[in-house]
Structure 1
C-alpha cells in the first residue's frame, strides 16, 4: 500500500468519525450521515489498497 493512499484512507476514517460523532451530539442527522459516508469511503479505500497489495505478492 502506498504511503499516500494509506494516509488518505486513515484521514478519511478519522475525519468521518469525528464529524459523525459531533453531528450526533448536536442532533444534526444529515451531517452525521455525511460523516458516516466519509468514514465508510475511507474504510473502502483501505480495503482496496490492501487487496492490491495481496495480489502483488
Structure 2
C-alpha cells in the first residue's frame, strides 16, 4: 500500500522488511520491560527510523 500511496517500495522482500520491523519493535518492548519500564521504547527512535527507513525504503515512479 505504501508503494501506491507514498511511492515507496522496500529494498528487500515485503516479508523480510516486515520481519525486520517486528524484530525492532519486539526488541524495544523487551528493553522497556527489562528496564522496569524506565527506558522508553521510543528512546532514539527518530534517529533509528531515519537510518532504517533510509536503507529499507526506496522511492518508485508514480503513475501519471
For normalisation by structure 1, the TM-score amounts to: 0.50
Higher helix share: 1
Higher relative contact order (CA 8 A, sep 6+): 2
Higher strand share: 2
For normalisation by structure 2, the TM-score amounts to: 0.46
